Structure 1
């Protein structure tokens, strides 16, 4: 059986689409379609059900994919090892939120630069857009808080991020601890709000986890909206209002007293970060090395 046909078949099986597989393989869609039809003729069985949106594997297709994919990945690892031994420069394309990439991911990957790696980074705040770019082959590895499903992606939990409700000392002085215990977020009435989006995603998640409620009309619309958590932190430090921030981002400001954590719940709200790659791509040596480096670094985060 032709290995090129099997490689195309596994790519389609993982991608769930002839079009998407063609992009990843660097082929035209008609070429991918032709190769799958050739393989189906050789086997005498259909491998995919054609749908309005992509394809789904038949039982025979699933069986063949689970048998063939590990061996194709192993062949790719052998090829990659030879290229790695030859000292070829490999470029890793990353994508994810600007704050987490800037403060966590890129510093952790910096030691790889001296080992034949180069990095290219794309800042993406939306998980769907980021994963679409990964599926289309624009990125090799993405960092996101959305855990994807399906055959196309492989996701590994990286770390948990604790969220903290913070404000400058001036605004924190307006929060009555007794009222906070009795009335919950009503104690924040009249305090301005800083957020990354008009929909208040971080505040809404925090309110649900800590106060078992959602922000109501008494909480003002965000006074400052800026799509970068580092800018949110600087606004809070300057006295613009309260905000929900990851603890790693604001730890120094908290320790110095420039900002104050308002309630300190017994069980802090957590958000999990995932490393996501296309299925099978960890056979690429430079990608596997970066993946492992991030997992080891995250132990110290």
Structure 2
């Protein structure tokens, strides 16, 4: 059986789309369609159900993918090892939110740069856009708090991020801490009148914190919107209002008392970060190294 046909088949199986697989393989969609039809003729069985949006594998298709994919990934790993032995190191393309990439991911990958790895980054807070870029081959690896579904992606938990409710000392002095320890709207009412600084109009961080800690939803709108958490931190330090920030980002400001934690709940809200790659792409040596390096570094985060 032609390995090129199997490679195309596995790409379609993982991508769930002839068009997306064609992009990843660097082929035209008609070429991918033709190769799948050829393979189906050789096997005498259909491998995919054609749908209005993409394709789904038949039972035969699932069985073939289960058998073939590990061997194709192993062959790719061998080819990549040979490529690196001759000096052909691939550039690593990474995407994710600007503050997490800047303060966590890129410093963790610096040892690989010292070994000759080249990096290109896309600083984008939009998880859906980053996943689309990963699916199309624009990125090799993304970091996100949105765990993707489907067989195209493989997600690995990287770390948990503690969320902290913070404000400048001026605002903290106006807050009665006792009601904050209660559940319900009365707790959040203790914060009424304090401006809110957030990354988006929908208040994603504040809403998640309110739901987890106060069992209620915020009844307010943001006074300042800044789509980078580092800018949110600086606004809070300057006295613009309260915000919910990851502890890793604001710990230095807390230690120096430039900002204050308004509440230390017994069970703090956590947000999980994931490393996401295209399924099978960890056979690429440079990507596997970066993946392992990040997991190793995250153990100390």
- The reply to whether TM is greater than 0.5 is yes
Q: CA deviation at 1:123?
A: 1.3
Moved more, 282-291 or 116-125: 116-125
RMSD: 0.8
Over residues 79-128 of structure 1, what are the superposed CA-to-partner deviations in whole Å (9 max), with x where a residue is unaligned? 01111222223200000000000000000001111222100000121211
Over residues 133-190 of structure 1, what are the superposed CA-to-partner deviations in whole Å (9 max), with x where a residue is unaligned? 1001110000000111111000000000000000000000000123334531111111
In structure 1, what is the equivalent of residue 232 of structure 2? 232
SS of residue matched to 1:41: helix
Counting only pairs closer than 5 Å after superposition, residues 246-265 of structure 1 correspond to structure 2 as 246-265=246-265
Counting only pairs closer than 5 Å after superposition, residues 194-209 of structure 1 correspond to structure 2 as 194-209=197-212
Q: How far apart, CA to CA, are the structure 2 residues paired with 1:66 and 1:208? A: 41
Over residues 217-276 of structure 1, what are the superposed CA-to-partner deviations in whole Å (9 max), with x where a residue is unaligned? xx3x21110100000000000000000000000000000100000011000000000000
Asked if residue 125 in structure 1 is aligned to residue 125 in structure 2, the reply is yes
Query: Could you tell me which of 175, 184, 187 is aligned with 2:187?
Result: 184
Q: How far apart, CA to CA, are the structure 2 residues paired with 1:95 and 1:177? A: 39
Moved more, 108-117 or 18-27: 108-117
SS of residue matched to 1:240: coil
- Matched-pair contact (CA < 8 Å) for 1:90–1:116: no
Please, what TM-score do these two structures have when normalized by structure 2?
0.98
Q: How far apart, CA to CA, are the structure 2 residues paired with 1:266 and 1:30? A: 58
Q: How far apart, CA to CA, are the structure 2 residues paired with 1:251 and 1:72? A: 46
Query: Could you tell me which of 216, 222, 231 is aligned with 1:213?
Result: 216
Q: How far apart, CA to CA, are the structure 1 residues paired with 2:80 and 2:206? A: 45
Q: How far apart, CA to CA, are the structure 1 residues paired with 2:257 and 2:230? A: 17
Over residues 170-217 of structure 1, what are the superposed CA-to-partner deviations in whole Å (9 max), with x where a residue is unaligned? 00000012333453111111111100011111000000000011012x
- Matched-pair contact (CA < 8 Å) for 1:8–1:32: yes
Q: How far apart, CA to CA, are the structure 2 residues paired with 1:249 and 1:180? A: 23
> Could you list the runs of 4 or more consecutive aligned residues of structure 1 that deviate by over 4 angstroms after TM superposition?
none
Q: How far apart, CA to CA, are the structure 2 residues paired with 1:89 and 1:181? A: 54
Please, what TM-score do these two structures have when normalized by structure 1?
0.98
Q: How far apart, CA to CA, are the structure 1 residues paired with 2:205 and 2:178? A: 24
In structure 1, what is the equivalent of residue 85 of structure 2? 85
In structure 1, what is the equivalent of residue 26 of structure 2? 26
Q: How far apart, CA to CA, are the structure 2 residues paired with 1:185 and 1:159? A: 28
- Structure 1 gaps of 5+ residues are none
Q: How far apart, CA to CA, are the structure 1 residues paired with 2:73 and 2:217? A: 47
In structure 1, what is the equivalent of residue 196 of structure 2? 193
Asked if residue 72 in structure 1 is aligned to residue 75 in structure 2, the reply is no
How many residues in Structure 1 have an aligned counterpart in Structure 2?
298
Counting only pairs closer than 5 Å after superposition, residues 131-142 of structure 1 correspond to structure 2 as 131-142=131-142
In structure 1, what is the equivalent of residue 169 of structure 2? 169
